[in-house]
Structure 1
Amino acid sequence: MKQKIAVLGPGSWGTALAQVLVENGHEAILWGKNPEQVIEINQQRTNHRYLPDLTLPEGLKATTSLAEAVNDADAILFVIPTKAIREVAHEVATMISNKPYIIHASKGLEQQSHKRISEVLAEEIPVEKRKDIIVLSGPSHAEEVAVHDITTITAASVSLEAAKYVQTLFMNDYFRIYTNDDVIGVELGAALKNIIALGAGAMVGLGFGDNAKAAIMTRGLAEISRLGVALGANPLTFIGLSGVGDLIVTCTSIHSRNWRTGQLLGQGKKLDEILENMGMIVEGVSTTKAALELAQQLGVEMPITEAIYRVLYEGQDIKVAAKEIMLRDGRVENEFS
């Protein structure tokens, strides 16, 4: 059955997901604040800033009117930076009356509150105004989805019926969706892997090879799992698509802006300069702060995250941070410590 989906956020991932929906026979309308970008999408069928080589399908529409986008939508898909989620969700709640599904494909933790995105959405959009909340996450570069590279990701919700709804919306011969009921694990895997990607990129920038890459990814997964389990996640989630899968794709690819940021840090570039030139949000930077504060609150040890925090927020030399991790007291691996 054809569905109307409001896709909030015309960046690379929002655009790629909207394209999938249109190609699957649904009505997708992209909402963004930049009038020039909206005109470009509608008239030229391009989104050069984010996906420069892509020609968008004719059925894909864009608008600067949030009310137009969400009006009578069967589902609303949030693909905007974490820091904007609460404000936009609050606005959305004033405009909807038909109880749409709420989906998000953003990856981060809210600053100060340390809340997951689904928690923020649940607070701002009352249950009487919506159906279930579903998280869409996993190993996926928008650039590759846009050209129909084979991709598998996860739809997670406390309601299996809602997760299956999203599975049905998006699944086709190049884009496969699995369902999961571990919302905590899927969201934390999505958010925290960006921190480890910063570290993985930094190892490359410092000139280290595959051994270092394997080390930081493996021990990074241990940190992600420790914090996730402390918050109630299923540990098996972290060996799935939104755990190790997302970690692999984000820690090994130039498509990852978190990896690229880490690489430039390793090469000696200044963080402010990197972020200014990146042109897109690097979620791992703010997530590092939120995750470390949350870990300290819960008494969870996250040495890689702590080292990256010192580099990002305290100006520690990245070579010194790497050496300090290596000189930590010896541990037993299977204690996840």
Structure 2
Amino acid sequence: MSFLNNTKIAVIGGGSWATALIKILSEQSHVQVRWWLRNQEDINHIRRFHHNPSYLSDVNLSPKKIKVFEKTADAIKGADYVILAVPAAFVQDALAGLSEKHFQGKKVVSAIKGMIPDENMLITDWIAGRFSIDLRDTCVIAGPCHAEEVALEKQSYLTIASTALPTAEDFAKLMTCRYVMANALDDLYGVEYAAVMKNIVALACGITHGLGYGDNFQAVLVSNAMLEIGRFVTALDPRERQISASAYLGDLLVTAYSQFSRNRLFGNMIGRGYSVKAAQLEMKMIAEGYYATKSIMQMNTQYHVHIPITTAVYQVLYEERAPTMVMEELKKQLL
């Protein structure tokens, strides 16, 4: 796709990641952003004061480049790209009322690091099936990259993955700016499943940190997690991939160790004795790994991959087993 002077990109979602993506896109002179948020108070505030009051509030949002909409259909009207940046559990609600005609001629980008709960589907698969979109016209944004560091304009890296490399390459150009380098890959499923599973690993890291395990154990846990992700992804989509690349390993590391990782924070609260419900209420944010854990476990009843870390997290979150006992059992299985 050759970029014209007015490439229109719709962003669906009002959280920190959506805000960070809009900041990146605003660096492009030829891009116009059409932004949908659910919260009417936030919409009014952005229109008046040009920053998101709820997330990354220090980021200034240019009214010349960004237009805010109350209705999803209005936001995506005329857009060349539609970026989905809502939690996976809410994507169906966010797109309710839309039909195939709303997505005709558009490319759809998932910035969601999760799966459709209960259906156990990747976002790209669900969106392609639900709205009859060619999978080659979809792509996914992966890290390693935290919204908070984008807000601070710290050097960051993104990977854009699609089954069609030209689709990924075109969008990667749009996501490259002074402080972000974006690269393209044709491994849509590998990148997307790795992004889902790294959140589960971050939960495990948080749980063990909350229990008092140190850096030595964390290193072993993450090393084993990379092997676990590799086994599972290969079972679902066997192909040659460099699993140590930043789209896989790098994204895992930043999520497992960073102070900005909401999944690590959620796990840390569980390790310190919070119930799942209490941790969810106190965080006021969605930890995608919570839902992903159940999805991956249900999928694995078909594939029978050895995934001890995911199993341990599932036992803590869904079977309500004591984290201390579960991690004692897990550490005997690590290499």
State the Cα deviation string for residues 102-128 of structure 1 (Å, max 9, x = none).
Answer: 111101122232211110011111137
Match of 1:13 in 2: 17
Q: 1:122 is matched with which residue: 111, 124, 128?
A: 128
Look up the SS of the partner of 1:171 in the other structure: coil
Contact 2:136 2:162 in 1 (8 A): no
Contact 1:72 1:98 in 2 (8 A): no
Name the CA shift for 1:91/1:235 in 2 (closer, same or farther; >3 Å): farther
Name the CA shift for 1:234/1:176 in 2 (closer, same or farther; >3 Å): farther
Match of 1:67 in 2: 73
Match of 1:280 in 2: 285
Letter in 1 for 2:159: T
Look up the SS of the partner of 2:116 in the other structure: coil
Q: What is the distance in 2 between the residues matched to 1:75 and 1:237?
A: 28
Q: What is the distance in 1 between the residues matched to 2:77 and 2:242?
A: 35
Q: What is the distance in 2 between the residues matched to 1:271 and 1:57?
A: 39
Look up the SS of the partner of 2:59 in the other structure: coil
Letter in 1 for 2:68: A
Q: 2:319 is matched with which residue: 289, 292, 314?
A: 314
Contact 1:12 1:50 in 2 (8 A): yes
Is 2:30 the partner of 1:23?
no
Shift of 1:4: 0.5
Q: What is the distance in 2 between the residues matched to 1:311 and 1:176?
A: 37
Taking structure 1 as the reference length, the TM-score comes to: 0.93
Q: Which runs of 5+ in 1 are unaligned?
A: none
Name the CA shift for 1:273/1:245 in 2 (closer, same or farther; >3 Å): same
Name the CA shift for 1:179/1:208 in 2 (closer, same or farther; >3 Å): same
Shift of 1:90: 5.7
Q: What is the distance in 2 between the residues matched to 1:4 and 1:191?
A: 28
Aligned residues: 329
Q: What is the distance in 2 between the residues matched to 1:77 and 1:5?
A: 7
State the Cα deviation string for residues 248-303 of structure 1 (Å, max 9, x = none).
Answer: 11011121110001111111111111101111111100100111111222111111
Shift of 1:97: 6.1
Is 2:181 the partner of 1:176?
yes
Name the CA shift for 1:216/1:20 in 2 (closer, same or farther; >3 Å): same
Contact 1:90 1:125 in 2 (8 A): no
Name the CA shift for 1:237/1:69 in 2 (closer, same or farther; >3 Å): farther
Shift of 1:206: 1.1
Q: What is the distance in 2 between the residues matched to 1:35 and 1:62?
A: 10
Write out the 4+ residue segments of structure 1 that deviate beyond 6 Å after TM superposition. none
Match of 2:219 in 1: 214
Look up the SS of the partner of 2:224 in the other structure: helix
Contact 1:86 1:124 in 2 (8 A): no
Contact 2:114 2:288 in 1 (8 A): yes
Q: What is the distance in 1 between the residues matched to 2:103 and 2:309?
A: 45
Contact 1:79 1:106 in 2 (8 A): yes
Contact 1:189 1:224 in 2 (8 A): yes
Taking structure 2 as the reference length, the TM-score comes to: 0.93
1:299-310 aligned at under 5 Å gives the runs 299-310=304-315
Overall identity of the aligned pairs, in %: 32
Name the CA shift for 1:7/1:97 in 2 (closer, same or farther; >3 Å): closer
